[in-house]
Amino acid sequence: MSSVEEVRLSLPHIELAAHLFGPEDGLPVIALHGWLDNANSFARLAPKLEGLRIIALDMAGHGHSGHRPLGAGYALWDYAHDVLQVAEQMGWKRFALLGHSMGAIVSVVLAGALPERVTHVALIDGVIPPTAAHDNTAERMGMALQAQLDLQEKRKPVYSTLDRAIEARMKGLVAVSREAAELLAQRGLMPVPGGYTWRTDSRLTLASPLRLTDEQAMSFVQRISCPAQLVVAADGMLAKHPELLERLPFSREQLPGGHHLHLNDESGAALVADCFNRFFAVP
């Protein structure tokens, strides 16, 4: 495996941890992982990508990165702002985005909002945020506000051994392989009295107070002006929504595997890498 460099970025508003891969003169890429994951989501894929200078972030509230201050939230546009600040720090006027799941959604939001900044969009099993009809907006916000209040009473689970924590991650909301769970746990767990718990900010489990309508979400997709490639996992999340896939103007490739196909095993990572190497090589 090629070497990876651990870096910390002191942004004006938060400190983020990240992994750097690839040649210094490679095409600039900011890689964004999925919900409750971390930079190790790209541990298998990034070394297989050619000619790219990849900075894989621990997004705010995840892995070794800082948590947002009390009273702040984790909206998609807040992550998009973080990415822009990372680009400033790296001195990158233009850059590509590589995103998995929630990271793919943030990539679409940013590439649609500021299309002139983004050179390529490479997406793994994620496109737009879950949408909602506008008639239940007030009710949804009420539930989200109440959940914020109730969170103060909740405590994170503590696992007596690393093994138990890894097993819990394997069986999480989205199941992953043992190797994937171990990689995510490396950056995701911290010791506490009585064992281990996840470093992630508990506020990440809260429902979003505001969901976009379908038209609003698709407006980001439609405004993307750079080449875009979407990898759909055959047993993942997007394959269940063929009607959404048909509406996307992106190049699309379906590959075998689950939602974390780029991380679950070496063969899945190699298939995704092959697809993206072809995508990034097109002049």
Beta bridge partners of 190: 197
Neighbours of 171 (CB within 10 A): 10
Using an 8 Å Cβ cutoff, are 166 and 178 in contact? yes
In angstroms, the first-to-last Cα distance of the chain is 27
| pLDDT digits 0-9 by tens, 177-232 | 999 999 999 999 999 999 999 999 999 999 999 999 999 999 999 999 999 999 99
When pLDDT is averaged across residues 103-116 and rounded to a whole number, the result is 98
Distance of alpha carbon 64 from alpha carbon 18, whole angstroms: 8
Q: Residue 171 pLDDT more than 90?
A: yes
Q: What is the per-residue pLDDT for 231?
A: 98
Distance of alpha carbon 84 from alpha carbon 178, whole angstroms: 34
Report which of 263, 246, 212 is spatially closest to residue 98, judged by C-alpha positions: 263
Give the chain's domains with CATH numbers: 5-133+213-281 (3.40.50.1820)
**271: which residues sit within 8 A by CB, 6+ positions away?**
255, 256, 257, 261
Distance of alpha carbon 229 from alpha carbon 192, whole angstroms: 41
Q: Residue 95 pLDDT more than 80?
A: yes
Distance of alpha carbon 230 from alpha carbon 245, whole angstroms: 10
Tell me what percent of the residues of the chain surpass a pLDDT of 70: 99
- The one catalytic residue among 41, 65, 101, 107: 101
Q: Residue 254 pLDDT more than 70?
A: yes
Distance of alpha carbon 271 from alpha carbon 97, whole angstroms: 19
Q: Residue 253 pLDDT more than 60?
A: yes
Q: What is the per-residue pLDDT for 1?
A: 45
Q: Which two tokens stand for residue 254?
A: 């379906």
Q: What is the per-residue pLDDT for 283?
A: 78
Question: DSSP states of 235-257 as a string?
Answer: TSSGGG-HHHHHT--SEEEEESS
Q: Which two tokens stand for residue 251?
A: 């190049």
Q: What is the per-residue pLDDT for 133?
A: 83
| pLDDT digits 0-9 by tens, 132-158 | 887 889 999 999 999 999 998 888 999
Length of the chain equals 283
Distance of alpha carbon 76 from alpha carbon 255, whole angstroms: 27
Q: What is the per-residue pLDDT for 135?
A: 81
Q: Residue 173 pLDDT more than 60?
A: yes
Q: Residue 110 pLDDT more than 60?
A: yes
Q: Residue 53 pLDDT more than 60?
A: yes
Using an 8 Å Cβ cutoff, are 57 and 90 in contact? no
**241: which residues sit within 8 A by CB, 6+ positions away?**
none
Residue 101, helix vs strand vs coil:
coil
**231: which residues sit within 8 A by CB, 6+ positions away?**
122, 123, 124, 125, 253, 254, 255, 261, 262, 272, 275, 276
Q: Residue 6 pLDDT more than 60?
A: yes
Kindly state the helix (H) or strand (E) to which residue 276 belongs, with its residue range: helix 266-281
Q: Residue 2 pLDDT more than 70?
A: no
Tell me the average pLDDT of the chain.
Answer: 96
In angstroms, the Cα distances linking 249 to 9, 140, 226, 275, 281 are 34, 30, 11, 17, 20
Residue 101 designated active-site? yes
